[in-house]
Every structure is written in C-alpha cells, then in structure tokens.
Amino acid sequence: MFRSFVLFAAFGLSILGAKSYEILLDSPVKVGNMDLRPGKYSVFLMDDSKIRFTDASGKSVEASGTVSNVDKKFPSTLVDTKQVNGATQIEEIDLGGTKTKIMFE
C-alpha cells in the first residue's frame, strides 16, 4: 500500500512540476488548423511535437509544433505571426527566460 502511495505522489508531483508559459493574444490567430480568440493563454509543452493552449476558461486545444533550443535565453516571451490567405497565423513562440522556441507550420 505504501509503495503505491509513493508512486502516486511522485506522479502527481511530476504533473504539478510541469512548466507552462503565459501568452497574450490581442487579435484572433490560427495555430495549425485551429483558431484562437484574443485573450490570455497558458502554453504547455507536452512533448517535442505537441503543444497545448489553455484559455482562461480552461478550454484547451492542442497543436503540432517543433520545439528546439537556441544558444541564448530569450529576454521575454514573443509570439511571431504571419499573414496566410488573409488570416493571422502563429509562426513561432520564443519562451522568455528560456532557450526554448516553438515553431509552427
């Protein structure tokens, strides 16, 4: 019984220790084939290719992206967008305080 409690506690702490990053979108954007409304989002790196965006109401969407590291830490979080067929699309997110960037196609 004690062993399963320790495993459950360790698993729970690993989930709680997962890092999320905040972004603020001031206009509607697309990420992959999904639409995100303006507002504050938590960005969670699920693995090297799955990214979860959760809005203030708790609604989540997942997108595919490429996570990579650069040589220097980013001083602040930056969301880089581009126009594709008249729609604003997230191209890259640089995570402030880290060397991590996320690229979207």
pLDDT at res. 8: 36
The answer to whether residue 12 is domain-embedded is no
Q: For tokens 């997942």, what's the residue? A: 62
Q: Which residues of 60-80 are buried (b: 16+ CB within 10 A; e: fewer)?
A: eeebebebeeeeeebeebebe
Per-residue pLDDT of the chain (105 residues; tens, 9 = 90+): 433 333 333 333 334 445 789 999 999 999 988 999 999 999 999 877 899 999 999 999 999 999 999 999 999 999 999 998 999 999 999 999 999 999 998
The answer to whether residue 6 is domain-embedded is no
The answer to whether residue 23 is domain-embedded is yes
pLDDT at res. 4: 36
The answer to whether residue 5 is domain-embedded is no
Give the structural domain span for 29: 19-103
- For the chain, what is the domain count? 1
The answer to whether residue 8 is domain-embedded is no
The answer to whether residue 82 is domain-embedded is yes
> Rounded CA gap, 81 and 84, in Å?
10
The answer to whether residue 65 is domain-embedded is yes
pLDDT at res. 99: 95
pTM of the model: 0.79
pLDDT at res. 54: 95
